[in-house]
Amino acid sequence: MRQAMSVSSQAQTIPRTMAAMQLTGHGGVDKLVYREDVATPRPGPGEVLVRVTATAKNNTDRKAREGLYPTKEKGDVTSFQIGGAPTLTFPRIQGADVAGRVVAVGEGVDANRIGERGLLDFNLYPDERRDLNLAPDYYGHGADGGFAEYVAVPSAQFHCVDNPALADAQLASMGMCSYQTALHMLTSAKVKAGEHILVSGASGGVGSALIQLCRILGAIPYALSQPDKAQALRELGAAAVLDRSDMAGFTDRVRELTGGKPIDAVMDLLGGEMTDHFIDSMIFDMPQRSSYPRLSIAGASSGNESEIMWTRIYLYQVQIFGVSHGTREEAEQLIEWIRDGQLKPVLHAAFKLSELHQAEDYFVNRSSNFLGKIVIVPDAQWSEHGAPFALPVSA
Ligand SMILES: NC(=O)c1ccc[n+]([C@@H]2O[C@H](COP(=O)([O-])OP(=O)(O)OC[C@H]3O[C@@H](n4cnc5c(N)ncnc54)[C@H](OP(=O)(O)O)[C@@H]3O)[C@@H](O)[C@H]2O)c1
């Protein structure tokens, strides 16, 4: 039986301990340990305590767990340390994109927030800047996140989203790790209405966000994906879908689809050997262009190294933008678009928190029709927030 605690200035009684999935070190899924006796966090000054109803999974959970963020020596097992020192310490509760309800507030936060349903802006911002984020880090990495029953986060970053039509699991699936990254990729490349944009990794969390955001900005997204997913991607907003398993005639297919115009900007989530093909799609007919070719890079699902001739970059004046997360302004803009229904959830399935290991396996060995996000729901919240989105029993 769990003990209860009373937190000052709160209307509700919060249990002293909670269920959580703790990451105990770099390595395989065996490093994830489910416990029911983890101390429930208390909200500090300026924070709210959120009872988690759903937290989306991101690729970064796996990459951080496996230590796949080397920036100096190839093969280093390491994670984000952009601010100078590693911030991932163990045990750590992962899970960046949290939806839930405010159940308590810390000093300086209006108690009227208690009861609000909201979505977390997952960033651990390095400073108060609204238009710049120079040292990206996040809840679930540098501080505990949402693979738990409760999480304490800054009140200013837990944004109320009370649309009744949007279930909590769907709200979590629209979390900032994917959507803010996608928006920052587009804003970095100064994507404009009417431009032809190539979206790689199109069926994933960031890719499906990119397709929708292109449409909001008035740009025309071309999805690079797999044939099984083509119809769903067109329904999401893709003008056409190119098969990533057949890159031999890639530029010719782009030419056919665009009526001979080069792609204006590429959103590269793949890297590896794919990036050179992406450059081809932008430079095959330079006189037809009205702006520089632009390449936004935010992921490396196909490979962390690409061999590209420097002459291709500078002679064709390809502008390259490295993107990690985004800014407070972008997060707030996205929340507005979620509130007014301009963005749609792309939710593949929900799993119980105690079954995160199975969810990780499912995510890595995904079927060819997998689209969008997986969310993790605390076991105690399962019947209300998870069960409606569970996989069919035969899956
Ligand atoms: N920089 C940042 O701030 C940031 C933030 C979030 C994510 N990321 C990174 O961005 C990438 C995508 O993240 P995500 O969350 O969208 O991941 P995701 O949901 O796992 O989607 C990745 C998609 O990439 C495609 N893909 C996977 N493996 C591939 C391969 N070997 N070759 C070619 N395509 C492959 C698949 O789409 P199709 O089947 O449709 O081709 C897959 O659905 C990851 O590398 C992630 O670490 C970076």
pLDDT tens-digit profile of 371-390?
999 999 999 999 999 999 99
Tokens representing 247? 């890159």
pLDDT at 3 over 70: no
Average pLDDT over residues 328-336: 98
Task: Quote the pLDDT of residue 2.
Answer: 46
Of 122, 131, 152, 134, residue with least CA distance to 57: 122
pLDDT at 9 over 60: no
pLDDT tens-digit profile of 86-134?
899 999 999 999 999 999 999 999 999 999 999 999 999 999 999 999 9
Residue with tokens 């996000």: 373
**Burial class for 182, CB neighbours closer than 10 Å (0-12, 13-18, 19+):** buried
The finding on whether 381 has its CB within 6 A of some atom of ligand 1 is: no
CA angle 324, 351, 339 (to 5 degrees): 55
Task: Quote the pLDDT of residue 12.
Answer: 61
Residue with tokens 């199975």: 358
pLDDT at 267 over 90: yes
Residue 301 · residue 162 · CB < 8 Å: no
Tokens representing 198? 């190539």
pLDDT tens-digit profile of 182-232?
999 999 999 999 999 999 999 999 999 999 999 999 999 999 999 999 999
Average pLDDT over residues 351-379: 94
The finding on whether 296 has its CB within 6 A of some atom of ligand 1 is: no
Question: Which of 200, 206, 241, 346 to probe ligand 1 with, by most ligand atoms within 8 A of CB?
Answer: 206
Cβ-proximal residues to 246 (8 Å cutoff; 6+ apart), any chain: none
Biggest CA pair distance of the chain: 72
CA of 268 to the centre of ligand 1 (A): 9
DSSP per-residue string spanning 47-113: EEEEEEEEEE--HHHHHHHHTB--SSSTT--B---TTSS----SSEE---EEEEEEEEE-TTS-GGG
CA of 244 to the centre of ligand 1 (A): 13
pLDDT at 46 over 70: yes
The finding on whether 331 has its CB within 6 A of some atom of ligand 1 is: no
CA of 87 to the centre of ligand 1 (A): 23
Domains of the chain: 4-174+345-389 (3.90.180.10), 178-322 (3.40.50.720)
Query: What is the overall mean pLDDT for the chain?
Result: 94
The finding on whether 226 has its CB within 6 A of some atom of ligand 1 is: yes
The finding on whether 187 has its CB within 6 A of some atom of ligand 1 is: no
**CA dist., res. 174 & res. 56, Å (int):** 8
Report the amino acid identity of residue 33: V
Average pLDDT over residues 145-172: 97
3-state secondary structure of 334: helix
Q: How confident is the model at residue 173 (pLDDT cuts 50, 70, 90)?
A: very high
